[in-house]
Amino acid sequence: MNEYPGRGLAIGLTPDGRKAVIVYFIMGRSENSRNRIFVEDGEGIRTQAFDESKMEDPSLIIYAPVRVLGSKTIVTNGDQTDTIFEGLDSQKTFEQSLRARRFEPDRPNYTPRISGVLHRLEDGSFNYAISILKSADGRPESDQRFTFSYAPALPGEGHFISTYMGNGNPLPSFEGEPVRIAVEDDLDGFTERIWNGLNPDNRVSLFTRFINLSDGTYESRIVNKNH
């Protein structure tokens, strides 16, 4: 088990080929990072302080991880969700929208910005792309930008990416292609398996969603360590 993947997202398709799947989770080592919950926000979600009195710097930890724009759903680990939403809404591509952003300015980690977008098509299929923006092995003077596209999505399969490869100081950024994962038909069972697979000391919140490809309706689950 990766003790500290940081923040992670996954997109995929259920084995029956009927529902798109989105996963997003956050973990934390500091009290400020752990003092968070997910709450619903329109068709998406946002992070929120669990105890407002303990909130320190909200700049990199309070944002909307998931937003919906018509037949597209966006999921990211930061406020680039809004950048992508606005870009797509003005007819820019996913990659073009992210050109305006860099990795997070949290020296010495320079946390990567991981982002995903899925597009539900009229024929009942969908495709998706996953992006990572990171520094050049911890050197902030250079950007590394990678986008991985999956079209069409394959039943029972998804792809996962996280901000870090594991614990450390500084934290090592994710490397390589998104990891292929197995997707299940049962939302509750799938959610439970992911939550139980996260380090119990560091896990903070988890969001999962199944989107019906025939009509766009969806079912979501939120798990917060803080109640």
| pLDDT value of residue 59 | 84
pLDDT in tens, 179-200: 999 999 999 999 999 999 999 9
pLDDT in tens, 109-157: 999 999 999 999 999 899 999 999 999 999 999 999 999 999 999 999 9
d(CA 54, CA 32) in angstroms, rounded, equals: 7
Q: Which residue has 């997070």 as its token pair? A: 104
Q: Which residues pair with 159 in a beta bridge?
A: 11, 180
* pTM of the shown model: 0.97
Q: Which residue has 């989105």 as its token pair? A: 22
Confidence tier at 57 by pLDDT (50, 70, 90): confident
Q: For residue 2, is pLDDT > 90? A: no
| pLDDT value of residue 58 | 86
Q: For residue 1, is pLDDT > 70? A: no
